[in-house]
Amino acid sequence: MTDSAKPTASPFSFKPYNETKGEEYMNEAQLKHFATILKNWKAELMHEVDRTVHHMQDDAANFPDPNDRATQESEFSLELRTRDRERRLIKKIDESLKEIESGDYGFCESCGIEIGIRRLEARPTASLCIDCKTLDEIREKQMG
């Protein structure tokens, strides 16, 4: 495999945190672990934003054929929608990093219990425990 063919490091390519018996929840080591995950994830997303901007600047062309123009506009539109979702995700990552600083990270914003290490590793921006999230989704289904 050549250097250019190597896959980029995923923000989720980390060593899972090994809890020790009796360890305090969201201690300094755990907070550092999650801050690293969140910062790596944000850096990866920001890299994608930069890549999109350069791609759109480099590939923007005024095609004489309406079909080619429509294809390009469709591709750009899809890419911009993806970047918009990622922009909202970056905002959630920033909020999670602020929660780490304030000491609120890792606790359910609804009921206050621990969200859990494994759930946070799967979804580092989670702000609800699994029970509150499940209830939230049930309410959403009933409303919609």
Going from the N-terminus, what domains does the chain have, and what CATH number goes with each? 26-105 (1.20.120.910), 106-144 (no CATH)
pLDDT > 50? residue 3: no
Q: Are 126 and 45 in contact (CB under 8 A)?
A: no
Residue 15, number of CB atoms within 10 A of its CB: 6
Q: Are 38 and 93 in contact (CB under 8 A)?
A: yes
DSSP assignment of 74-92, as one string?
A: HHHHHHHHHHHHHHHHHHH
**Region 125-142 average pLDDT:** 96
**Region 108-130 average pLDDT:** 96
In this structure, of 27-31, 81-85, 124-128, the range with the lowest mean pLDDT score is 81-85
Q: What does the mean pLDDT of the chain come to?
A: 87
Q: What angle do CA 83, 84, 90 make, to 5 degrees?
A: 85
- Comparing C-alpha atoms, which of 17, 37, 13, 15 is closest to residue 25? 17
Q: Is 67 left (phi over 0), alpha (psi -120 to 50) or beta?
A: alpha
